[in-house]
Chains A and B, each alone.
Chain A
Amino acid sequence: MSPSEEAKLVERARQGDVDAFEALIVQYERKVYNLAYRLTGNPEDASDLAQEAFVRVYQSLGDFRGDSSFATWLYRIVANACRDELRRRQRQRTVSLEVTVENEDGEMVRQYADEGEGPDQALERVELQRLVRETLATLDEDHRQILILRDFQDLSYQDIAELLNLSLGTVKSRINRARNALKEKLARELELLQSRVVYNSRRRHGNEL
């Protein structure tokens, strides 16, 4: 979308044109929803939170001056909405930043398996996914949280600092420490995975033969 198209849509949305607003946010829906999902850990709350965030964006349109890009501005508001939610959850000690994605019936495996991928590779990939998520879950809360924001949600250090109310320096060092912690744990687990995958694949091939 060109800046002038965007400016036109912003103007229309400000007057209350909901269609224009939808056109503006459509490209951010997925990212915002996923952020909400990872923060809340379930689809119902994620929907609530993401909608809440977009409602705030809409309500704040009158303040958007075009000093920063629309994306930056939108993301800041979303980050604030999520931060409020995060604080609420932290206070309630129910924070759930785990990335629990697959359905009970393991739908994810089908959903994400590539067409050109054999069952072994798919399995390996799903195993790897699971391993990463499980290892992530064993990290300190602070470390897990910051890695999700940085490496799963692709937020800038600045955004994370605002979201978690930390200094930029703290964000920098925490990300580094978190990655190192994950790296070490994962290295150990990966060795195990390797042997498990090899074992599984042998067993299956054995069955076929």
Chain B
Amino acid sequence: MNCEGVRERLSGYIDGELDELSFHQVRSHLQRCPACAAEEAQLRDLVALLRQVARETEVPVPSDFRSQLRSRLLQLPPPLARKALTPVAPRWRRWGLPAAAAAAVAAGFTLLIGPGAARPPAGDPGARAPVATPASPAQGPVALHGRSSGLQRPWQSETGAPGGLDGAPGGLAREDGSAGLANPGQGSVAPGSGDGGPGAATDGSPGQKAPGDQPGQQPGQPNPGGASRPAGGQAETGSSGTVPVGPSRIGDGSAPGNGSVVTATSGEGQPEAGQPAPAPLEAVTYRTRIRAPLGPGLEARLAQVLAAFPEARRIGDPAVTTVSDRSVAVSYTFAVPRGQADAVLAALETLGEPVQRSQPEVLSLAADYEAKAADLAAKRSWLEEKERELQDPGLSDLNRQSLKTDIERVRQAIPILEQELAQMRQRAEQAWIVLTVEGPRTTSGE
């Protein structure tokens, strides 16, 4: 490697971020090139200086940070309650809760950008409401009527899917009676929250929606026009039983539809979706336990076994658990193409004395995927809609501003959803193998 190549890699070298080959090349060059070695020393000094400044300018966490966080957390459902993979729960229930939670998040962001609203981080909707209220009540209902009627038409004509429309006017009708309820539809504005609003509305159980979040959020959403579209999109998501509704609309959003999640997947044009024969959308995990001496020897033999499966890769760091005061267990997780799972499993088990192989766990990702995909489609078409609306010269400045804010928020949610979908597809193409190796404690340092 010449000087130029070395200089390009010096930062990576200092940070320990070079691959092994480059690392050795740089190191051996530095040993014989004083100019580059001087350069390296300077760079190290600089990094040390920056770190020192970083340490010295570190700010303390505000004293009320934890109590504020706590009050926010206490309003949320237990994390397990929102785990979306339980197939028994009705979907609105599974998605309603995180939607409400995400709505709280969205409201948090509103605060962050809202005029003069930079005060308390407001986990507590009670605290949040007063901040945003001044803007909303006067403007809310007016814009609601004016905007929503103007809204429906372009959407109707554009989708050509009458089924998909049912949800929207429904949501609007409700909006009049109970703005507090309709606005949660705004939840769809926040990442991953697609079904929140209509879930509650359709099922007629507004009480289910995390009660704390909405009152706070509603005033934070001075743009009720924004609510109408998500509400429509969600109503549809919520009623995915009516198959024609979903795909027809989802199609125009160029995202996978309910009925044919997997097929649509490859049509979505995501780089990750290039697999011609999509696997069923499920997360498969195999677990096996063997007994073998731990330590570097094990690592080497593991690498040997895996060399036969170039597509297999490790996930995360090995997790160490204590079995007893004499023995320790280390768990490795590997991702392999699903078709190779049995072969890899068998090969891994040759590393020691098999103790136990569990039944593979299969978790369906389909419902989760479908809901996210529908949410994504709804957001995309909502965006199209709103961007058109923004062109309307008759829009008041206030409405334009809040519309922009809403658009911004929805736009942020899209890449996140896309990423989540891609991850799910990727997960479905893989099987994960958790290999637990149990060994005597003393040999771990061999």
B50, A55: Cβ atoms closer than 8 Å: no
A59, B12: Cβ atoms closer than 8 Å: no
- For residue B245, CB closer than 8 A to chain A, the reply is no
Closest 8 CB pairs of A and B: A16-B78, A68-B316, A62-B83, A61-B79, A151-B50, A176-B11, A152-B54, A44-B118
* Given A3-B321, A34-B59, A132-B49: A47 in contact with B73 (beta carbons within 8 A): no
21 interchain pairs (CB within 8 A)?
Answer: A7-B321, A14-B78, A18-B73, A29-B61, A45-B112, A50-B65, A61-B80, A62-B80, A62-B82, A101-B57, A112-B57, A125-B56, A129-B57, A132-B53, A150-B15, A154-B54, A156-B17, A172-B9, A172-B17, A179-B47, A182-B46
- A202 neighbours in B (Cβ, 8 Å): none
In the complex, which residues 172-188 of chain A have their Cβ closer than 8 Å to any Cβ of chain B? 172-173, 175-176, 179-180, 182-183, 186
Interface size of B by CB at 8 A reads 68
B112, A175: Cβ atoms closer than 8 Å: no
Bound Cα distance A43, B118 (Å): 9
* Given A62-B79, A128-B53: A34 in contact with B42 (beta carbons within 8 A): no
- For residue B333, CB closer than 8 A to chain A, the reply is yes
Bound Cα distance A62, B82 (Å): 7
In the complex, which residues 339-396 of chain B have their Cβ closer than 8 Å to any Cβ of chain A? none
Bound Cα distance A99, B56 (Å): 11
Interface size of A by CB at 8 A reads 71
Contacts beyond the supplied A14-B79, A45-B112, A51-B72: 18 A-B pairs with Cβ under 8 Å: A30-B61, A52-B105, A59-B76, A59-B79, A62-B79, A63-B83, A67-B315, A72-B317, A84-B412, A101-B57, A133-B53, A147-B50, A152-B50, A154-B51, A157-B15, A176-B8, A176-B12, A179-B11
Q: Smallest distance from the beta carbon of A191 to chain B beta carbons, Å?
A: 14
- B59 neighbours in A (Cβ, 8 Å): 33-34, 37, 43, 101
Bound Cα distance A66, B11 (Å): 32
Bound Cα distance A141, B443 (Å): 51
Majority SS at the chain A contact face: helix
Bound Cα distance A92, B407 (Å): 12
Q: Smallest distance from the beta carbon of A72 to chain B beta carbons, Å?
A: 7
Bound Cα distance A54, B17 (Å): 28
- For residue A75, CB closer than 8 A to chain B, the reply is no
- A34 neighbours in B (Cβ, 8 Å): 58-59
One digit per residue, 1 when the CB lies within 8 angstroms of any chain B CB and 0 when it does not, for chain A 39-65 equals 000111101111110111011111100
Q: Smallest distance from the beta carbon of A26 to chain B beta carbons, Å?
A: 8
B65, A47: Cβ atoms closer than 8 Å: yes
A132, B50: Cβ atoms closer than 8 Å: yes
Write the chain A residue with the least CB distance to B285.
A65
- A147 neighbours in B (Cβ, 8 Å): 50
- For residue A87, CB closer than 8 A to chain B, the reply is yes
- For residue A167, CB closer than 8 A to chain B, the reply is no
- For residue A15, CB closer than 8 A to chain B, the reply is yes
- For residue B144, CB closer than 8 A to chain A, the reply is no
- B60 neighbours in A (Cβ, 8 Å): 30
Bound Cα distance A43, B119 (Å): 10
B68, A112: Cβ atoms closer than 8 Å: no
- For residue A4, CB closer than 8 A to chain B, the reply is yes
- For residue A96, CB closer than 8 A to chain B, the reply is no
Q: Smallest distance from the beta carbon of B118 to chain A beta carbons, Å?
A: 4
- B74 neighbours in A (Cβ, 8 Å): 18
A51, B46: Cβ atoms closer than 8 Å: no
Q: Smallest distance from the beta carbon of A167 to chain B beta carbons, Å?
A: 13
B11, A175: Cβ atoms closer than 8 Å: yes
Q: Smallest distance from the beta carbon of B2 to chain A beta carbons, Å?
A: 16
